[in-house]
Amino acid sequence: MIYELSNPVTKTLITHLRDQKSDAIRFRHTVAELTKQLVYEALKAFPLKQKEIETWQGACSFGTLDEENIIVVTVLRAGLPMLESALDLLPNCTAGFLAMKRDETTHKSVLYYDRLPDCSAKTVLLVDPMLATGGSMIDALELIKGRNPSKILTLNIIGSPEGVQRVQKAHPDVDIFIAQIDERLNDEKFILPGLGDAGDRSYNTL
Ligand code: PRP
pLDDT in tens, 28-60: 999 999 999 999 999 999 999 999 999 999 999
**pLDDT value of position 84:** 98
128 ligand 1 Cβ < 6 A: yes
Helices (H), 43-89: 80-89
**pLDDT value of position 151:** 98
Residue extents of the structural domains in the chain = 2-46+74-203
Half-sphere exposure at residue 6, Cβ-oriented, CA atoms within 13 angstroms: 2
Residues 123-151: tens digit of each pLDDT: 999 999 999 999 999 999 999 999 999 99
Residues 70-93: tens digit of each pLDDT: 999 999 999 999 999 999 999 999
Residue 117 has pLDDT above 80, yes or no: yes
Share of the chain above pLDDT 70, in %: 100
130 ligand 1 Cβ < 6 A: yes
Task: Give, using CA atoms, the residue closest to atom 10 of ligand 1.
Answer: 132
- Going from the Cα of 45 to the center of ligand 1, the distance in angstroms, rounded, reads 29
**pLDDT value of position 174:** 98
Residue 100 has pLDDT above 90, yes or no: no
**pLDDT value of position 141:** 97
Give, to the nearest 10 degrees, the angle between helix 8-18 and helix 24-42: 150
- Going from the Cα of 78 to the center of ligand 1, the distance in angstroms, rounded, reads 7
Task: Give, using CA atoms, the residue closest to atom 18 of ligand 1.
Answer: 101
- Going from the Cα of 146 to the center of ligand 1, the distance in angstroms, rounded, reads 21
94 ligand 1 Cβ < 6 A: no
DSSP assignment, residue 152?
E
Mean pLDDT, rounded, for 153-164: 98
Residue 23 has pLDDT above 90, yes or no: yes
Backbone angles phi, psi at 174, to 5 degrees: -100, 130
98 ligand 1 Cβ < 6 A: no
CATH code at 2-46+74-203? 3.40.50.2020
Query: How many angstroms separate the Cα of 9 from the Cα of each of 20, 29, 90, 134, 179?
Result: 19, 14, 22, 26, 11
Mean pLDDT, rounded, for 180-202: 96
Residue 206 has pLDDT above 80, yes or no: no
- Going from the Cα of 48 to the center of ligand 1, the distance in angstroms, rounded, reads 34
